[in-house]
Every structure is written in C-alpha cells, then in structure tokens.
C-alpha cells in the first residue's frame, strides 16, 4: 500500500525495527528497490532530492510509486528529502508525496520551529507526514557543504521543545553522522542518542547511513532510530556497475543488459540492509 511515514514508523516502533529510507536517483532503479522490500517482507521509504523529483517529474514519480506499491503489495512511502523551500514542499504534497522533510537545521532555533510548524500545518491538513531536523549533519546535502568543525550535535532539551512546538512526525538528529561518507565509517554518539530518546517521543531519524558501521545498527534501533537513511552506498554501486557494463557494451545492444546488473546491485544492498534493519536478535537457524 502507498502509505505515510507516520504509518510505517508506527509499525517499526511496535516491533522494534527501523524502516530503510533509500534515495533514488532515477526511475530505473525504483521497481527493484520496492521488490527488495517485498522480498524481505518489510515496509520501505523511497526518498528523493528536489532536483531528482524535478528531473523525473513530481507527479510521474508519485504515479509510478503508487503503481508499484499496489502491484507488489508493499507498504511504501514517497518522501521528499531535505527541502528548504516552501514552494518545493507544496509541490511535493500537492503532487501526492506522502511525506516531506523540512530542513530548517541551518536556521536560528526559533525560526526553525516556526517554519517547520507552518509546513506541519499544510502537510497534516492533507494527510502527509513531516520530518524536521535539529543540529547539523556533516558532509554535503543539496549542494551545501557542512565542514567537520561546523557540525552541531542535537541538544536533548532543544529536541523536546522542537517536537512539542512543531508537531512533527519524525526528528532527524545530529549524533556524528555525515552525508556521503562512503570511504570510511563514523563514530556515532550513542550516549547522546540515548539522552534524546529518553526525552523525545517521536521516531528518530539517522542521516548519512552509508557512513554508519553495520555493527552499530542494533544499538541505534534499540534506542529509537525508526527511519534509517541510506543513499550514497546505492548510488556508488549502481554507478560502478553501470560503468562496467556500459564500458564493455556494443553500442546497439539493448540498454536493459547494461542497466539490469546496476539495478540488481542496488536491490542486493537494500535486501542486506533491511535484513539488519529488522533487528532480529537471535535468528532461528534454518540448517
Ligand atoms: P548517505 O548518502 O550518506 O547514505 O545519506 C543519505 C541521507 O541521509 C539522505 O538524507
């Protein structure tokens, strides 16, 4: 079913797992992303930047998502990632996205509250979920670079006030992760996550999932992470595979021969990630 962020994070809260939120960059990889979730029996969030949504077409993306979610009988959310402009958010909501992120983390605290609240008002009136952000995640997002020294961790007391005043459905927190970190792994601040989770009652979101060690997933999930963003790892592996296939191809060979292996690479990573995101402590051996 084509559904909302609020719905899938509620399922995740009840069963103590996290929902994978995977960035797509084109329509080609989309069906296999949803099929990966179907094969794992899990819900999935597909997210895009504004530029990708515009490249594909907001309404085209919505219609394709709805069609695949119905066809594959998978709970799927279409989420707009890191939007800073009301007009972009409005376009996504009016086109049928079921979730949006308003990222006011670069703004003074009170301005972030007021602008996020305005988005919540518009979105909730239309049944759409909203993710907000507090603190700064390192790396590059929407072309804007955040240097290591400029990173600001989320303060638990701010998180309480922010959630209460805005009415958001999920909160992205800064606990040491960086966007686009695919050559190394980061040190996540678990004690800070625990402090935030103890005082905030909305689902928490981790950004920059590519740079998070898989050994840390269970502890993140056990401490309230209900949406887990992974983008760069998929992009890098789709591109690497496509470079190989396109590099070797005859120019008149059907494109699918070059694209299917790249889509398969993405599908396999998503299945692997979801397997870990389901947070099964003692899997029953099938041997
Ligand atoms: P990565 O690309 O680093 O996995 O981060 C994805 C993300 O957080 C999107 O907002």
HSE-CB at 265 with a 13 A cutoff on CA atoms is: 18
For residue 33, tell me if it sits in a domain: yes
Tokens 């602008």 -> residue: 115
Quote the domain boundaries for residue 238.
5-277
To test the ligand 1 pocket, which listed residue (137, 180, 273) has its Cβ within 8 A of the most ligand atoms? Answer: 180
CB contact set of 14 (below 8 Å; sequence gap of 6+) = none
* 3-state class percentages of the chain: helix first, strand second, coil last, to nearest 5: 50, 20, 30
DSSP state of 155: P
pTM higher than 0.85: yes
Note the pLDDT of residue 138. Answer: 79
Low-confidence ranges of the chain (pLDDT < 70): 140-144, 146-149, 286-287
Pocket of ligand 1 (CB under 6 A): 23, 81-82, 179-181, 207-211, 229-233
- Residue 141 CA: which ligand 1 atom is closest? 10
137 CA distance to ligand 1 centroid (A)?
Answer: 10
65 within domain boundaries: yes
Structure tokens at 91: 């376009």
In a domain, 284, yes or no: no
Structural domains in the chain (count):
1
User: Looking at residue 51, which CATH number applies to its domain?
Assistant: 3.20.20.70
Which of the residues 81, 88, 103, 169 is marked catalytic?
Answer: 81
CA 130 to chain centre: 12
pLDDT of 284: 74
Is the residue at 159 inside a domain? Answer: yes
Active site annotation includes 150:
no
User: Tens digit of pLDDT for each residue in 53-63?
Assistant: 999 999 999 99
Q: How many angstroms is it from 58 CA to the middle of ligand 1?
A: 20
Q: Please check whether residue 283 lies inside any domain of the structure.
A: no
Helices 30-40 & 58-72, crossing angle to 10 degrees?
30
Give domain status of residue 125, yes or no. yes
CA of 56 from ligand 1 middle (Å) equals 20
Look at residue 287 and tell me if it is in a domain.
no
- According to DSSP, residue 104 is labeled -
Within a domain: residue 286?
A: no
Determine the pLDDT at residue 137: 86
Helix (H, G, I), strand (E, B) or coil at 23: strand
């Amino acid at each position: 079913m084509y559904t909302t962020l609020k719905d899938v994070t509620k399922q995740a809260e009840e069963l103590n797992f996290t929902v994978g939120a995977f960035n797509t960059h084109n329509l080609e990889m989309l069906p296999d992303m949803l099929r990966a979730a179907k094969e794992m029996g899990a819900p999935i969030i597909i997210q895009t930047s504004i530029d990708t949504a515009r490249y594909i077409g907001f309404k085209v993306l919505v219609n394709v998502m709805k069609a695949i979610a119905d066809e594959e009988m998978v709970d799927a959310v279409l989420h707009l990632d890191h939007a800073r402009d009301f007009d972009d958010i409005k376009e996504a909501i009016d086109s049928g996205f079921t979730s949006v992120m308003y990222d006011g983390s670069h703004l003074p605290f009170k301005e972030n509250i007021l602008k996020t609240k305005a988005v919540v008002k518009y979105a909730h009136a239309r049944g759409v979920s909203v993710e907000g952000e507090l603190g700064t995640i390192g790396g590059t997002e929407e072309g804007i670079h955040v240097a290591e020294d400029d990173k600001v961790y989320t303060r638990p007391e701010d998180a309480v006030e922010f959630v209460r005043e805005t009415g958001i459905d999920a909160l992205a927190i800064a606990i040491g992760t960086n966007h686009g970190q695919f050559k190394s792994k980061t040190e996540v601040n678990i004690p800070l996550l625990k402090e935030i989770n103890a005082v905030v009652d909305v689902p928490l979101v981790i950004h920059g999932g590519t740079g998070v060690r898989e050994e840390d997933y269970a502890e993140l999930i056990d401490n309230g992470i209900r949406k887990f963003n992974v983008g760069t790892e998929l992009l890098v592996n789709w591109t690497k595979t496509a470079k190989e296939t396109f590099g070797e191809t005859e120019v008149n060979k059907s494109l699918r021969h070059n694209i299917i292996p790249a889509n398969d690479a993405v599908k396999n990573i998503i299945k692997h990630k979801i397997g870990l995101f389901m947070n099964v402590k003692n899997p029953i051996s099938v041997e």
